[in-house]
């Protein structure tokens, strides 16, 4: 884990992957990230949605994002740090799916050492997983 030595050009801000109090590993800012700017992307293996759902079934930690009605990206073999981004019900970043790309943008200024979080919205967990984000107003399920 730790900082990525060879950062791809689509990873705009330095982040590190470290243990998170929310769940497993999380993504933490290694430099200040201004509001609204792109933080980075997740790239991975493009697969049909049906295959994505088969792979996701029964897994605790899912690294698959559906990018269209037919296509999904499986990032489990990816080295992109943003794939470790945790969900929060009060996130400081957002996920944007555009033209098959999985992009992360800051919603507010993110300080060095702060965990980067997004609202996952609909997930493969379908409400079966407890949310431990700790935010006031946490909906409690993923």
Tell me the per-residue interface mask from 66 to 105 with Zn ion, x by CB under 5 A, - otherwise: -----------------------x----------------
Name every residue whose Cβ is closer than 8 Å to that of residue 110 and which is 6 or more positions away in sequence: 29, 32, 33, 39, 92, 93, 116
Q: Shortest CA distance to 22 belongs to which of 116, 86, 84?
A: 86
- Of 27, 42, 67, 131, the one binding Zn ion by CB under 5 A: 131
Instruction: Tell me which residue has its CB nearest to Zn ion.
Output: 138
Shortest CB 129 distance to Zn ion, Å? 11
138 contributes a contact to Zn ion by CB under 5 A: yes
Chain residues that interact with Zn ion, rule: CB under 5 A:
89, 131, 133, 138
């Amino acid at each position: 884990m730790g900082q990525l030595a060879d950062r791809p050009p689509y990873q705009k801000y330095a982040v590190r992957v470290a243990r998170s109090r929310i769940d497993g590993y999380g993504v933490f800012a290694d430099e200040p990230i201004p509001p609204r700017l792109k933080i980075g992307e997740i790239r991975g293996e493009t697969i049909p949605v049906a295959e994505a759902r088969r792979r996701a079934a029964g897994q605790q930690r899912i690294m698959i994002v559906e990018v269209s009605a037919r296509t999904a990206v499986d990032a489990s073999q990816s080295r992109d740090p943003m794939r470790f981004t945790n969900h929060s019900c009060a996130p400081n970043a957002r996920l944007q799916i555009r033209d098959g790309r999985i992009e992360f943008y800051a919603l507010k200024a993110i300080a060095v050492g702060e965990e980067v979080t997004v609202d996952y919205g609909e997930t493969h967990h379908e409400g079966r997983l407890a949310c431990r984000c700790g935010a006031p107003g946490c909906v409690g399920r993923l």
